[in-house]
Structure 1
Amino acid sequence: MTREPSGYPRRQPHLSPHETSLWNWAQNATLAKKTQQACPASESDLQILLRHHRGQVRVMGRRMSPGRMLAVGENDDLLIDTSALRGFISSDEHSATFAGGTPLHEVYEQLKAMGRILPASPGVIDAQTLAGALATGTHGQGLQQSSIGDEALSIRMVLADGRIETFDRQHPWFPAVQLGLGCLGVVTAVTLRTQPAKVYTCFKTAVSADTLESDLLTWNRDYVMSKAWWFPEENQVHVWAAREANAEEQAQYQANHGDLVEQQQTSDAMNQTIDQTLEHMRSDTQITDENGKPFRTVTRFKDFSDVTGDVYQVFCRGIATPQINVEIAIPLARAGAVIARIKRWHAETQPHMHYPVILRCTGASESWLSPAYQQESCFFGFVIYYAEDGSLSPEGVAFLRAVEKLLAEEGGRPHWGKYFDASLYNWAKIYPQWQAFSQVREALDPQHTFGNDFSQRLLDQGAEQ
């Protein structure tokens, strides 16, 4: 089986209909032979499968993570598809329980129908499964919340020997299970904390990046949720800052039958910057379709306006398109100093970028392996899109490698569901509970059934540091 090479793999945009391998969503890595895929129809089928299986096992949701996180080896190894283990299970006044294989958009739709929301802000993309979101630490923005996993009240798993265990917040191992990298068991049900649905007004603006170091803190302290796109070359920042809607704004929203309200007054302050960004993107990707998905991710910033809607309408607006995405969390208290360093580095080296730096901040997380563990954090996101032929811009790749190295030197913690160079990090140093997580893994899966070459190297590397 072809292994994902180190770094950023080339994409295969035109797979044969007779392909015998299963690929990840981005089509840049093979995960298993199709004959190695298992699709249990129920939790009991999953129990039987694991009880009698002798090889290693990985679990896939929507296959949106890098291939190395999901791939299995040859022979008896299995890749478990949990798509049949999905759906709403139950709810009470303060919580709702869903099967682990439920896509996030189904979770959000069900909660919205109930007049409820998660206290955690959604991520940009809502296609991934609930279990996958927990396993990788999916997060949104806002200092009053952290990752989706931090809203879990209990997590039910099938272990390697087929036993079922349920972990709640009183269990000493719960912080390990909240973000388990898929290495502890198969998550089959998650009970999530919920709260009454709210309506938000999001104010959008374009400002100079001259004072970004201090502005970032102000936006995140003054608003419930904030997100920013920083264009270093143009020294400009596009900012979304949201608060709960007032009575007049809520009335407008209701009068619009619950659809997103866009204000009539628009701003063209980003138009010139976006045109320059699009020029870079078209040159790098050679995509001829003017409305191609990568381009739509930034054209939405042109002629922007304030909006009023629910949290999913306002912030869950991502456009899924194959890309290399690197995201590194920095303690919020040090984010300003890191921004200043990036400014100096950018001025000295003039790196090639075809997408802005994405800045999202969250509150501290309880999960031992969360990049935001025990500290308010700013997630610095960097993206390059694939060219039409599946290649990547060499200059873009060089930029990603250099900026990740810079952030790793600043004590950054990488997002588990995105690309990172594991050799840059001292895991035991940046994660105080790394050894505790390893001990939980040894207790729940002593044979390392839920592992593969990459996860084994990763956890072994942390144990040796």
Structure 2
Amino acid sequence: MKQKNNGTWVSWNENLKYNYTTKYDITTEEELQEVVANNEKIRFFGSKQSSADIAAGTDVLIDMTSYNKIVSYDYNAKTITVQSGLILSELLEAVASVGWCIPCLPDINTITIGGALATGTHGTSGKLLSEYMIECKLVLADGSVKTVTKDDELMDALRVSLGMLGVMSTITFQCEPEYILHVKEKPENDKEWLPKIKSRLKEHDFLRILWLPHTDTGYVITGDKIDPNKEVVENKGPGYLKHRRTVSKILYKYSHKFPWITSIANKIIAKAFFNSEKEHKGSLYQATVTKSRGSTLELAEWTIALDKFPQVFEELKTEINKWSNKSFIHIPMDVRFVYKDNSWLSYAYKQDTVTMGCVSRNAATADTYEAFKSVEKIFLKHGGRPHWGKRFAAKDAQLAKIYPKWEDFKEVRQKLDPTNKFLNPYLTKLVAAKKLVNEIA
């Protein structure tokens, strides 16, 4: 176990910085237990790609990224067990190598397994990644290890828990046989794609819409399972499409000073980079996962019940198109779909859900990006729920209104961590945890 003293923890986009007294790089479960047991206050982190302030802020930190081994396969049950610091890409490549898949994947593969699960990472047209976790070894506040299975009531609290119940050690995923998607992409006017959401969810195995604010256009991506041997004439579009990030960076450079520039930039970007039809095939991982993400981003994402989405969408569109409002939004707003589950802090708890991302291409000026505030206000008004790993301002009182099991979760958290060992200042405010006497002192 490596130990580093007196350093600075910096998030991927440099928006969050914290000094720490001690950082441990752990490689075994025993080391993890030892560090947790022997420290009064501790947080742990992986790839540091969260926009929410959940990973640091305590004097003692655990770097999980060296705790990254594949532990075992069960070929009959189609399960794989891994250490929680493993990067998602390595998990996905491992299951693909034996002909399996996890049927719902996020849009990036550079995050750690533990971080992805703790924050409710998801893909589209399926369930949260955490719904495929069938067993987890959890290091509790006293350093002991508790094995939680899919049949334990605790699992519904643990699946999405922001690392407030303990540190995930090893995780077992239920996999399925790999399949091939025939993916088609094309632009559609808002009046076309919005009414077709429910029918397309029934018709297609994969649906994602990249909405292009201030252009009245969505870029619709559908995927259908096909025979792996079926030939598909691939059309990946013009070669210049690979330069979209560079062009976006240039066009949005001064949009924090002059927000109205965004509207003009979006129309240019939409015409140049979202105006062609594309077609290809591949596994879910090959066909749909972006293999990188620039650290110049800052992200927010909100979810809403599927039945409420059209109303919320129209209200949001009207609001951001007002020239009196400074909430001009960078391209694209990622619209995805998550089916209902029973996980207490899942965005899809007991309801089929639409998620809508909001991105600022200028991470350093995200605090002045008015769109984050407008999106949150409208979604909260309609009972929307925030993505735990992205930017939002809502705290305990508001979250209690939109998560039916919020108070139950807080009770479980208090029981498993009575001394608030796993809370940093951000999480303390999030759950309105009472400060202990020794903390006040």
| Bin of the TM-score, shorter chain as denominator length | 0.7 to 0.9
CA contact (8 A) 1:118 1:195 kept: yes
CA contact (8 A) 1:103 1:129 kept: yes
Aligned length: 412
3-state SS of paired residue (1:234) = coil
State the match for 2:293 in structure 1: 320
Give the Å deviation of 1:374. 1.2
Residues in 2 aligned to 1:427 and 1:307: alpha-carbon distance in whole angstroms: 41
CA contact (8 A) 1:47 1:162 kept: yes
State the match for 1:14 in structure 2: none
CA contact (8 A) 2:118 2:159 kept: yes
Per-residue Cα deviation, 1:21-73 (whole angstroms, up to 9, x for no partner) = 1211111111332x4211122111111222222x2111101111136212223
- Out of 130-139 and 168-177, give the one that drifted further: 168-177
Give the Å deviation of 1:165. 0.3
1:110 aligns with 2:97: no
Instruction: Give, as a single letter, the amino acid of the residue that structure 2 aligns with 1:213.
Output: L
State the match for 2:10 in structure 1: 23
1:127 aligns with 2:110: yes
Question: What root-mean-square deviation, in Å, do the aligned CA atoms of Structure 1 and Structure 2 show?
Answer: 3.0
Residues in 1 aligned to 2:367 and 2:47: alpha-carbon distance in whole angstroms: 26
CA contact (8 A) 2:121 2:128 kept: yes
Distance 1:425 1:343, change over 3 A: farther
Distance 1:439 1:393, change over 3 A: closer
CA contact (8 A) 1:154 1:166 kept: yes
Distance 1:22 1:232, change over 3 A: closer
CA contact (8 A) 1:274 1:299 kept: no
Residues in 2 aligned to 1:418 and 1:204: alpha-carbon distance in whole angstroms: 27
State the match for 2:279 in structure 1: 306
3-state SS of paired residue (1:191) = strand
Which residue among 68, 71, 77 is the counterpart of 2:53? 68
1:42 aligns with 2:28: yes
Instruction: Give, as a single letter, the amino acid of the residue that structure 1 aligns with 2:68.
Output: R
1:352 aligns with 2:328: yes
Residues in 1 aligned to 2:271 and 2:52: alpha-carbon distance in whole angstroms: 27
3-state SS of paired residue (1:25) = coil
Per-residue Cα deviation, 1:299-335 (whole angstroms, up to 9, x for no partner) = 7646441110011111111531121111001001111
TM-score, scaled relative to structure 1:
0.82
Per-residue Cα deviation, 1:62-109 (whole angstroms, up to 9, x for no partner) = 111136212223xxx311111221121112122111111111000001
Which residue among 410, 414, 420 is the counterpart of 1:448? 420
Distance 1:264 1:68, change over 3 A: closer
Instruction: Give, as a single letter, the amino acid of the residue that structure 2 aligns with 1:203.
Output: K
3-state SS of paired residue (2:431) = helix
Which residue among 97, 107, 120 is the counterpart of 1:137? 120
Which residue among 344, 348, 354 is the counterpart of 1:372? 348
Distance 1:443 1:392, change over 3 A: closer
Give the Å deviation of 1:392. 4.6
Residues in 1 aligned to 2:270 and 2:66: alpha-carbon distance in whole angstroms: 31
CA contact (8 A) 2:25 2:66 kept: yes
Give the Å deviation of 1:266. 4.5
CA contact (8 A) 1:24 1:67 kept: no
CA contact (8 A) 1:408 1:425 kept: no
Residues in 1 aligned to 2:226 and 2:319: alpha-carbon distance in whole angstroms: 40
State the match for 2:43 in structure 1: 58
- Out of 165-174 and 41-50, give the one that drifted further: 41-50
Residues in 2 aligned to 1:430 and 1:373: alpha-carbon distance in whole angstroms: 10
Residues in 2 aligned to 1:233 and 1:197: alpha-carbon distance in whole angstroms: 38
Distance 1:244 1:21, change over 3 A: same
Per-residue Cα deviation, 1:256-293 (whole angstroms, up to 9, x for no partner) = xxxxx76148589x99x99997774254389xxxxxxx
CA contact (8 A) 2:43 2:57 kept: yes
- Superposition map of 1:392-411 within 5 A: 392=366, 394=368, 397-411=369-383
Residues in 2 aligned to 1:298 and 1:87: alpha-carbon distance in whole angstroms: 45
3-state SS of paired residue (1:46) = helix
CA contact (8 A) 1:117 1:194 kept: yes
State the match for 2:408 in structure 1: 436
Give the Å deviation of 1:393. 8.8
Percent identity for Structure 1 against Structure 2: 25
Give the Å deviation of 1:218. 2.5
CA contact (8 A) 2:140 2:167 kept: yes
The runs of 5 or more residues in structure 1 that have no matched partner are 1-18, 253-260, 287-294
Give the Å deviation of 1:200. 0.4
Distance 1:30 1:393, change over 3 A: closer
State the match for 1:419 in structure 2: 391
Distance 1:439 1:299, change over 3 A: farther
CA contact (8 A) 1:38 1:80 kept: yes
Give the Å deviation of 1:347. 4.0
State the match for 2:358 in structure 1: 382
Give the Å deviation of 1:180. 1.4
- Superposition map of 1:67-106 within 5 A: 68-73=53-58, 77-92=59-74, 93=76, 94-106=78-90
3-state SS of paired residue (1:443) = helix
